[in-house]
Amino acid sequence: MDLLKGKEIMVWAYMGNARMYQALRDYGDRISQIGLFSFKVNASGEIYESGVSIATGSTMRTYINKWPHITWLLTVSNDGTNSIFAALRDNANGAQDTFLTELVRIMEEYDFCDGIDIDLEKGDDYSTATASTAMFKNIYNAVKAYDRTKLVNICLPGMTSVNGSVGGENWCVYADLNSYCDIAAIMSYGMAWAGSAPGPVSPRSWLEGIYDYAVTVMTPSKVFLGMPAYGWNWRIHDTPENMGATYRGTSHTYYAARHWLKGKYNFTGDAPPQPFIPFVAYWDDDNMVPYAFPHVYDFMEGQDATDYNYPQMGGTYNGRNYLVAYAKQQHTSFGEVAVERSGDDYDSYSGVITKYDGYVTLGKNGSVAYTFTVDTAGTYDIAVRLCYPFWDKNGIYVSLDGESVHFSEDRLWWPYWRSTFWITLKSGVALSAGEHTIVASVDVEGAQFYGFCVCSAFEEYPTAGDATFTLAPRQFMDVNGDMVGPDTGFKLTLEMLRRKPDSALIWYEDFRDGLLTSYFTTLSGEWDVWQTPNSTSSRPYSQLEGYGQFAWQYSGFGDLHIRAQIIFPAGFSGKAGVFLDSLFCCFNYDSQCIELYEGNALKDSYNTSFSTTAKADLRDNPTIYTIEMRKRGTKVRVYSSSSNTLRFTATVSDVSGYAGLQSDSKVCCQLIRLGDAWTYEPYECFDVTMPDGSSATFGRIERSNATWDEEFQVFTLTSDVEESATRSESISSDYDFFHSDTMTDVVCGKDYTAVITPKDINIWISRLFLGDADGFSILYYQDVDSLVYWANQAAYRWGLKGMCIWSLGQEDMRLWEYLPKQT
């Protein structure tokens, strides 16, 4: 039995500090491989020495001689410079040829080495994958031609699929590179970095995605699971520019993190006035990593709110409990109600009406009349409650004592379609004591009347709800045993997740309510909805499946934004995508292209790649491809991928008609979404009432070439441009931080209230931090428990070669006592 199977440990000798040499001296027997970070390559392909010295007589030579069991590799790095990577890949001016010769030269010069460690980072996108793989093939062959016994280790970015790099390193295709290495160290550290939102450097979700994928396309016994020995401390009391920094994060070793926790550091230059306070660390049981909040006096997660109002609702992602609203609701208030009647409580009718519980649907010449009595003469507001069930059932007349008001709606994105809404019939109208009459009559057949209210003060507006938090700052004991608090005051920092705007929503269909034949029609072929069997959910996971054309029962679509998430079952062939009248935006599986057709005419295309999903994975683990088109007049923009990447723009006829899904053969779809072609919903702005009673608005972005709708907080473009062209400010897809001013009236020992009121939907209320205005932070670090856990996952879950750690000298030295000896 091989007791070391899956338990090898690779490290890099990079730090050159005393602790690195201490680890080599005391624990070299726990290390199987070391990358000597001593060489750089330039754009000419020349290798020069830079980093830890390995020359004869150097300190490192002492340990090279002491530990012959270690596989010693010469690491060659491009320092993450894209231009160097590109020059080597493309053999610009013979750069790759020179590089291959130089690799042999350094192996000859340092003949103790067991091989080469190639650390080339910041390559380009998937279009360069073939050339990049060829470069690694040439490296491998050059080393083996020199000496078959020399090993080639390649350092690879974390990939969760082909084209699946979070950092844009999509040149890397694991399956193609597998043959051109003896060892592969996957650098699965760096998801969190100086400029990112705070979090684990190597979160579980990322690690699982990488290694679940890697073991299916690479030889597992070649692969090292990469883990950081370092951590980050992100200052969250202010913006980086106000702190004189580019990024809010500062890297640190395990022992630097421990100094923060023991109160040896602070944010005022490690000197007064900020007190020196020891802080407890927490354990992230999802990501298996410790963290802390230095100089934070109270904090809350979104769902820790003492109260929150619908449509705010709780959600959980990667162990984080947040609040969010996915759609606004109409808020109404009526003051003192004098009269209230439901739609089915009428006194007379004429024409065709259909009476239901609480409302009437108006048909041909339909009309309903209501007589009501006002006891006291006065000034009143009168509100009516209506519903437009579909886009072609959108008009009604309502009169008060013979004076008629016409209500209608033609905005496809209007948020109250298919739901009831209140609207003013008369505001501040003088009514005499006695009888009055309201009559609702048909404009468009199918409109619905739910009743009316006579009241003192009617008000309505759309709302995303709000959330109230109680914060209770208390004094801490400092390193001297004294009870202390902030010197300057407090700041409140809000951790929020905003998103880029999306087209104002017309319809979101995930088929969880089954096949809605009242709203959809099969124009051709056959379509049905599959739903998770035996699910206890009221809305189980579902997929539409079929072929032909599947459409909304409405033929008046013109300018439109339509998006679908497509799944190709095994054996699929042909085209599948979305359509609007004669326009067909599709994936052509056979040609591996995204294409746009007008009738039979191909307007444009984009080369890409996609694959089918095996039958066993079709429902639980499908491969999903997103496709969308935005039609404005005679221009169509075509997008794909989860990041909604623009692929091409084409000129077409200004058609209108049905819209929906189209496929040549049986396909699956888990989502289809309609949005307005010109109007956008921002997901960015929120109001805050601070603990000291002050208030502020955060996140709203100024835009050009757009008009603003104050009621619904949406904007409409005034020229045919991409939304991103209307703003100069970028929107992170990561958590962001917003800060109050310094609050001097907030003191330790009292409880305070903070209220967050989103003005937009799709904003995650993640966490609130009440901290010392002189500085507070989120600190993540790696300790022995974290690293041992992931070493065991590498061995026993994925069957890998072992774990590699960046880098020696930054780690919790206790780690080595818990790792097996390699000799």
255 vs 230: CA distance, rounded Å: 9
Query: In one letter, which amino acid is 816?
Result: W
The pLDDT of residue 1 is: 62
Pairing type for strands 659-683 and 645-651 reads: unpaired
- pLDDT the model gives residue 512: 97
Instruction: Determine contact, residues 185/804, Cβ cutoff 8 Å.
Output: yes
pLDDT at 464: 98
* pLDDT for the residue numbered 318: 87
State the CB neighbour count (10 A cutoff) for residue 483. 11
Q: How distant, in Å, are the alpha carbons of 302, 464, 704, 753 from that of 690? A: 16, 19, 31, 7
Its pTM stands at: 0.94
* Among the listed residues 767, 768, 771, 769, the one whose alpha carbon sits nearest the alpha carbon of residue 748: 771
Angle of the 95-109 helix axis to the 129-146 helix axis, nearest 10: 30
From the list 27, 145, 11, 8, the residue with the least C-alpha distance to 73 is: 11
In SS3 terms, 113-172 reads as CCEEEEECCCCCCHHHHHHHHHHHHHHHHHHHHHCCCCEEEEEEECECCCCCECCCCCCC
Give one DSSP letter per residue of 280-319, joined into a string: --EEETTTTEEEE-TTEEEEEEGGG-SEE-TT-EEEEETT
| Residue in 326, 332, 325, 327 with CA at minimum distance from that of residue 466 | 325
CB-CB neighbours of 798 under 10 Å: 19
Total Cβ atoms within 10 A of residue 459: 14
Of 494, 473, 498, 501, give the one whose Cα is nearest residue 485: 473
Residue 373 CA: distances (Å) to CA of 350, 377, 673, 793: 22, 10, 47, 75
Provide DSSP, 373-427. EESS-EEEEEEEEEE--STTS-EEEEEETTEEEEEE---TT-TTTTS-EEEEEEE
User: What average pLDDT values come out for the chain (823 residues) when binned by 10 residues?
Assistant: 90 97 98 98 98 97 98 98 98 98 98 98 95 98 98 98 91 98 97 96 97 97 98 98 96 98 98 98 97 98 97 94 97 98 98 98 98 97 98 98 98 97 98 98 98 98 98 98 98 98 98 96 98 94 98 98 98 98 98 98 95 95 96 98 94 98 98 98 98 98 97 98 96 94 98 98 98 98 98 98 98 97 94
Residue 644 CB partners (closer than 8 Å, separation 6+): 563, 626, 628
The reported pLDDT for the residue numbered 642 is 87
pLDDT of res. 527: 98
Helical (H) or strand (E) element with 226:
strand 223-228
Check residue 205 and report its DSSP letter: H
pLDDT of residue 100: 98
Residue closest to 253 by CA, chosen among 790, 779, 641: 779
Q: How far apart are CA 121 and CA 131, in angstroms?
A: 15
The tokens describing 630, both together, are 């935005």
**Closest listed residue to residue 131, CA positions, set 77, 183, 87:** 87
336's tokens: 């003192």
| Angstrom distances, CA of residue 222 to CA of 174, 204, 361 | 12, 21, 69
Whether the bond between 807 and the residue before it is cis, its omega within 30 degrees of 0, is: yes
In sequence order, what are the residues at sequence separation of 6 or more whose Cβ sits closer than 8 angstroms to the Cβ of residue 119? 35, 75, 76, 77, 78, 155
Contact, 679 vs 714, CB < 8 A?
A: yes
Q: Are strands 802-806 and 8-13 parallel, antiparallel or unpaired?
A: parallel
Q: Which pLDDT score, from 0 to 100, does residue 609 have?
A: 86
Consecutive H or E run containing 511: none
